[in-house]
Amino acid sequence: MLVTFHTNAWSSITMFGDVAVTLLKMAGHSGTVPSAMLAADIPAALERLEHKLAATGVEIKGIRAFGRISKTRTIRRPWGSGCEPIR
């Protein structure tokens, strides 16, 4: 299964279903697909997701473009030394 995330603020993102559901659950969502999240719920969901990812030891690099939120993180990839921005 493929899951596509849609928003008017960004391009659509398609992921494999198991990965997408795992990320949704980490963000505090039920993981039900299809479903939706309200724009007002995105900042809190993103904070929960970042907290859970940080607990795994993964560093995130990118710019959050949700409303007025803007932070930078770094992703450390164990399989390579290069880091790419998440857009």
Global model pTM greater than 0.75? no
* pLDDT tens column, 10-69: 889 999 999 999 999 999 999 999 999 998 998 999 899 988 888 887 666 654 544 444
User: Which SS3 state, helix, strand or coil, does residue 7 take?
Assistant: strand
Residue 64 inside a domain? The answer is no
Count structural domains, the chain.
1
Q: Encoding tokens for residue 82?
A: 């290069």
Residue 42 inside a domain? The answer is yes
Decide: 82 and 73 in contact? Cβ < 8 Å: no
Residue 74 inside a domain? The answer is no
pLDDT value at residue 61: 60
Residue 70 inside a domain? The answer is no
pLDDT value at residue 51: 87
User: Which SS3 state, helix, strand or coil, does residue 70 take?
Assistant: coil
pLDDT value at residue 3: 94
When comparing pLDDT for 49 and 86, which is higher?
49
pLDDT value at residue 58: 67
Q: For residue 21, what are the CA distances in angstroms to 33, 52, 80, 82, 83?
A: 8, 14, 26, 27, 24
Residue range(s) defining the domain that contains residue 45: 2-57
Query: What's the distance, Cα to Cα, between the start and end of the chain in Å?
Result: 23
